[in-house]
Chain A
Amino acid sequence: MTYNLIKNNLKIVIPIFFLLILLGMKTYFSSNMCSEFLRINYIKDFQIYLTGKTDLPQLKVLICHGSIIEQNLEKEYYLVLFSKQIYFLFSHIFLILSALVMKFLKFNNMEYLFNLCLYFIFINIIFNYPIGLNFFNELIINHLIILFVLTLPTKVFDV
């Protein structure tokens, strides 16, 4: 029965499987090589400055995204590791590509929506945003837009 359930929902199970593997790898490597993450250490009302100016290689920047580089208790701010390039690549370029792949593989609307949400959660976790209402940020709008635009070819509209 479980086998049949998995077999019938491969378009949902496989992405979850990949997501879990990626998150597992991310957790394993980050625990070994990164300093503390902001989401664990944040003090209320401290200001946050993001910076990509670092000598670290890009792979390490990716794994340690969101870790604290500097904490200033006097001036009440954090300096946090953040790469504009990597963030843009994941949150925009890969997002469009994954949407196109799903369209190509003829995912139905529910599978499509589910996978986009999964991707959206993945982006939030990979960049170390804390879990909370902030999941509903700008990215979800982009997900929805892509979803609706890609379902367009069946429709003709009057203006």
Chain B
Amino acid sequence: MFKLLKEYSIILIILLAFIDYDIFVFFAICYFIYSIFSENKIIFDKFIKKLVYIEMFCFLILIRFLPIFNNKFLKIYNNISQQNYLSLDGKFYSENVFLDLQTFYFGLYCNNISQTHTGYITLFEGINLSCPFTSGYGFIFDILSIGINVWYLSVVTSFIALLILFLFYFKNAQNLNGKKFILLTLFFLSPPVNFLIFRLNIDLLIFLFLSFIVFNEKHKYLRNLILIILTFTKLYPIVFLLSFTMLDIIKAKSFIQPLNYISILVGSIYIYLHTIQKGTNPFSVDNQSFRSYGINNDSRYLEDIFKLPKIFFFVAILCLILIFSISFFKKIKFKREINYEIHSVVFFLGTGIFVNYDYKLIFLFFLAKKFIEIDNNFLNIVLFLFIYSSPSLLHAYEKYYKLIVNDEIFVLDFSFYILYSLCIAILIGYLKDIFINIK
């Protein structure tokens, strides 16, 4: 009986996500810790794995599209959404299905001179948008335009993207079993992934493109071209040009990588021009602590709490990170057979300086995959506790973790800094490899 319960427990845990995602998060953490420390090996037979795949299909795809056919399903849609990313008015049932993609396409629609409508109401929350409207992405999207119905295009794009995401999960999970299967499945059920799918931010498309490049790299030219286009879209993918350059240097054992250097230069010039044109300073951006990460964000909160200059906290945090990094570096033995985790490492170090929404953490997939393969408890704990606390479980006064509306409670996420230090230690390892082995 106990054996049966243990085998089917993953099915029950995932079912919780459909009932109430906030409860699921807590039980998923408990289940994760249990599976890490359990001395009895958990082996899933084919039938259980099939059930998990069905649940994952429902979670990643089916439930997202049911409200489109019938409004009554919005209740279920909200059940699988964490309270953090719903409406900030304290009333939970915000119904902004694929909001980011809708606004992105509406921005492109407004660029079309022959547009027939100048207004758009987002489905299903009903936010009124009107032209002129900019998507807020790279300024190249101020030039591109579309003439198709925004909602239909959003639905079709979302369906294709989510289907590819599911197939990507399936491809990675099919050869795993036991603890590794649990961890990979939990990654795709995690709050950042759920947040990303809820908003259907264009980051999902970037992640899918990047994953394709990472695991199917054949032509450097095509790879760099795609990465430059992605940089033109959302700026931060330039970090992947850096990580690929590092890998190319290690593989070729040579610093002479002109194609990569030119690509990085093109990307940097674009970012510079974009910053000048938009007039935005990445250090001035802030966000709520419970659904974003970044040193700059935390410094801003600490400045507000202690009434001292932000730079003081920024430097202090960097010093602490450095101390932790050195301590980690001494404890890591580096192996270099598989090295796709460097993409996650460079991404996390780059974006972690500023302020970013937690849904970007899907890019930690490459690090998660590596840690799952290594099967080290400490590494998995640090990574998964961070992922499962981003967005965090909220402090509450009412049922479960009800959001406190005015963002007074600041949570300094220790797990972020520990993972950040670990990533620095890994990067130092790579740099050491490069500078010692390559002349």
Contacts and interface: CB of A to CB of B under 8 A. Distances in A.
A158 B91 contact: no
A50 B376 contact: no
Nearest to A151: B378
Interface string B69-97: 00000000000000000000111000000
Given A84-B304, A157-B378, A49 B400 contact: no
Contacts of A140: 393
A130 interface: yes
Contact of A155 (B29, B306, B331, B413): B331
A91 B411 CA distance: 9
Given A84-B304, A136-B26, A158-B332, A49 B414 contact: no
Contact of B405 (A47, A141, A157): A47
B331 A152 contact: yes
Contacts of B401: 133-134, 136-137
Contacts of B386: 145
Given A134-B401, A141-B385, A156-B331, A88 B379 contact: no
Contacts of A136: 26, 393, 401
Contacts of B332: 156-159
B91 A159 contact: no
For this complex, into which size category does the number of interface residues on chain A fall? 35 or more
A109 B392 CA distance: 25
Given A48-B397, A157-B376, A138 B333 contact: no
Nearest to B339: A159
Contacts of A141: 29, 385, 388-389, 392-393, 413, 415
Nearest to B330: A156
B381 interface: yes
A85 interface: yes
Contact of A157 (B91, B374, B406, B412): B374
Most buried by A among B341, B381, B394, B398: B398
Interface in B409-435: 409-415, 418, 426, 429
Contacts of A148: 378, 381-382, 385
A108 to B, nearest CB: 16
A146 interface: yes
A157 B398 contact: no
B414 A50 contact: no
B408 A133 contact: no
A120 interface: no
Chain A CB within 10 Å — which of B386, B397, B402 has the most? B397
B220 interface: no
B382 A84 contact: no
A94 interface: no
Nearest to B345: A159
Interface string A41-68: 0101101111110000000000000000
Given A158-B333, A159-B429, A138 B413 contact: yes
Interface in A126-140: 129-130, 132-134, 136-140
Nearest to A155: B378
A1 interface: no
B305 A48 contact: no
Contacts of B378: 148, 152, 155, 157
Nearest to B407: A50
Interface residues of B, number: 53
B397 A133 contact: no
A92 B370 CA distance: 31
B176 interface: no
A116 interface: no
B295 to A, nearest CB: 16
Contacts of A87: 409
Nearest to A46: B90
Q: Which of B90, B91, B382, B394 counts the most A-chain CB atoms under 10 A from its CB?
A: B90
Nearest to B421: A149
B392 A50 contact: no
A118 B389 CA distance: 21
A144 interface: yes
Contacts of A44: 398
Given A159-B370, A159-B426, A145 B305 contact: no
B379 A50 contact: no
A146 B305 contact: no
A51 B406 CA distance: 9
A134 B400 CA distance: 5
Given A136-B393, A138-B392, 10 more contacts: A84-B409, A85-B306, A130-B397, A137-B393, A137-B395, A146-B414, A148-B382, A149-B414, A159-B334, A159-B370
20 contacts: A39-B397, A49-B406, A50-B409, A82-B408, A85-B305, A129-B396, A133-B23, A133-B399, A133-B401, A134-B396, A141-B29, A141-B388, A141-B392, A141-B415, A145-B382, A145-B415, A148-B382, A148-B385, A158-B335, A159-B429
